[in-house]
Structure 1
Amino acid sequence: MDLSALDTKGLQLLHAIAQENVEDFSAQMEQETDVESGKFKQLAEYLLNSSIWEGTVLAEIEKRQKEKLNFSVEDLFVHAGQYDKFVSVEFYRNSDAFAKYGESVNGMIVYGRKQRKDLTGSILVENYERNDGIILFNSKVKDQELNWQLKTEGFLASEVCSISTFTEDPNEVVYRKPGKREIPNTITIPFDFEGFELPVMENQQTSWKFKKNTKVLSHELTRYFTNELIMGKDIPEAIKLEFLYDDTGSQFKEDVLIQFYGYGYEKQLLDQNQKNLLNKLLKSRADRREGLLKGDLSISNKRFEQFKLDFPDAYRQTRAAFLKFTDETLSENETQHPVYWDEERFVHIYGRHYVDHFINMSTYKGTHFQYSFKDIRRLLCLVLKSLEDEIEAALSSGRNYNKYGDQGYYFDGNYYTLKIDADGRLMTFFPMS
């Protein structure tokens, strides 16, 4: 058979068949007890011929691989990487990648910030330079160790025999695309809140954590025992002292009172004095957070008052966000080292990277999220979910978790900096450009 008439894809298939025959004949020979029998000798002849044929085909594959770089780092970026496409990569059967990862892998090619920037510039030339190099890959394989090797060690571009992408995926470059964005693949499901009891639902979720023996944070316990009060349950004094009272040891914390009276307000259970108290507490909370914002960005009282006059809608939006925010766990229930943010970090992230007006009033010049207010939290949770194994590994060993610079997290056309303290406190999260 003239192997030169076959393309590389055909050679790969032919080698797979030959290899399968070798394995099949070897298995049959192991079943034969009489090595002098005619059947055994016939199988031995088949095995020899198949082995020779397998070696011949493999030699032709190796020859072609050496003669021509089928895919360069730049080629892979042109066809798939620049579009963030889901791609299936088939390896040469004689390659180390084949031995390590198998016949093929499916997923997305991973690029550092600098590499993506450099490749974006290099392919602008029609006859761009083609180079071999390491390709890092985010696969969807269930084997986590294998997936980690693909992300950190990868494979050579010269080991790639062929690639295929979904034709439905658009050839659209989203990297550094300006304008507002929506999180891809979002499905909105309507929810009827009538008859919905938030205290009951929240405490069910916390109870699940108790049963699974996963870590429950202090702010979660405060909300849990406040909900118990709302539902009319008796709370031991020791629990009140630890989770519900302020530093005086006799007065409820601000968050407890807002949660308690907030529920009463929603259910139309408050008298006027209680409503006045709730309004006073909410004003105090919002004023304090405005103070954090001005301090974080070094904005004077005079300039902030001018902002309120010049941008009343933006100010009302800011005030509403400051009123509603409560310390919150951002990780899923199963984690042993949950990530959370408190009001200081929320104000820091919101003030520096969401509303342009604050940046314009400050000496600090930051980058801006391209998403709506509600989508920023969703984006953050998606990033935390994607990195949960890395974060868990760092926090469980008492280390901070940092992802920034060239190793920033890439999502939907931008790279993000993420920093988390060793205790799980989110320190910062923002787009790098």
Structure 2
Amino acid sequence: MSDLFDTGAAKAAEGPRPLADRLRPATLDEVIGQDDLLRDGPLGAMLTSGRLSSLILWGPPGVGKTTIARLLAQETDLVFVQISAIFTGVPDLRKVFDAAKIRRANGRGTLLFVDEIHRFNKAQQDGFLPHMEDGTIILVGATTENPSFELNAAVLSRAQVCVLKRLDADAMEQMLKRVEQSEADLPLTPDARRQIIDMADGDGRALLNLAEQVLSWGAKEPIDPVTLSKRLSQRAAKYDKTGEEHYNLISALHKSVRGSDPDAALYWFARMLTGGEDPRYLARRITRMAVEDIGLADPQAHRICLDAWETYERLGSPEGELALAEALLYLALAPKSNAAYVAYKAAMKAAKQHGSEPPPAHILNAPTRMMKDLGYGAGYEYDHDAEDGFSGQNYFPDTMDRSVYYVPVERGHERDLKKRVEYFAKLRAQKGRG
């Protein structure tokens, strides 16, 4: 078996190692920030029982996926073999499986850690199945993408998905203390210390790399936030315009508007813009919010969104984004109603159920003599001729009972529409056509 894959093979003399590698936990008890998974969670239960099953470790970068996989192999006395889906082809996989079969014949098990497992196509993922089923390998896959979107159902059915959390501020502080115990005190003011944690954005590996840079400066006096900002770059926010993070953030934005929280809506809007989202996509989604969640409770909300969209097209960035932000704030504070949306869906359902029923004869057009002879238009009452401007006639198919789809809410402009709906219902009942 090539040393390229089997980390249990003899190693050559090591050169300089980065801080993140030197401080890699030696036991699972030293892993920071994943207690719910390791202590009383599924991994803890597996280790207590002495039976490790195949796993998918799903979480953002820098939260310990590789480290946990390596330590699981150590704890269960399995040979740890690591590959990356980015650099591994079918011939390489065949070598890995063949070597695992030989180990198994000699009484040793193999934990195969596959980094970025979601980058394997569906056929390649299927190649793991027979080796998982016969016990040749314990598969531990690592992914930053939602497994339910990216992995075969067959693989998921044979592996337990473990969700690793983004490291919070307390976990990051523990990590900095570990750095200081191992190396030296970080020359940072309290505010700068909080700032470096913010810069790492929940990524433990990024935090250790930043801390290593700070230590390399050899500063004699504590560094303040201004100096720190000049010397270090903010880690780019995690955002994939085509992946799950995209859908998570647009969901957060939409639900903040629906929940009438202008500040949260503005925050998620800013998060998406700083992540590189196309403002035109946001303009389209903001307009959708006006149609779907504001509706007729504030009819001008739709127009405001379209005007903001047009303003962006005319001004471009960055001023155009301000127009979109203003529309977003208007929507968040507008009265909410999905009554029109609910009515539309109900009418669509009814149309599919009764799609072949003709209109009642009295409202059919009768441009020819034959149509008139067939009764088209007979008995039609012209509403403008009625004293109150309302005939109350039936406009549904004769075979259909009258239905109510639109039920306005007691909010915003729909209060007035509700009064009109109730007024016409009362007139219809008085005319005996309810």
Q: Which TM-score applies when normalising by structure 2?
A: 0.19
Which structure carries more strand by proportion?
A: 1
Q: Which TM-score applies when normalising by structure 1?
A: 0.19
Flag the structure with larger Rg.
2
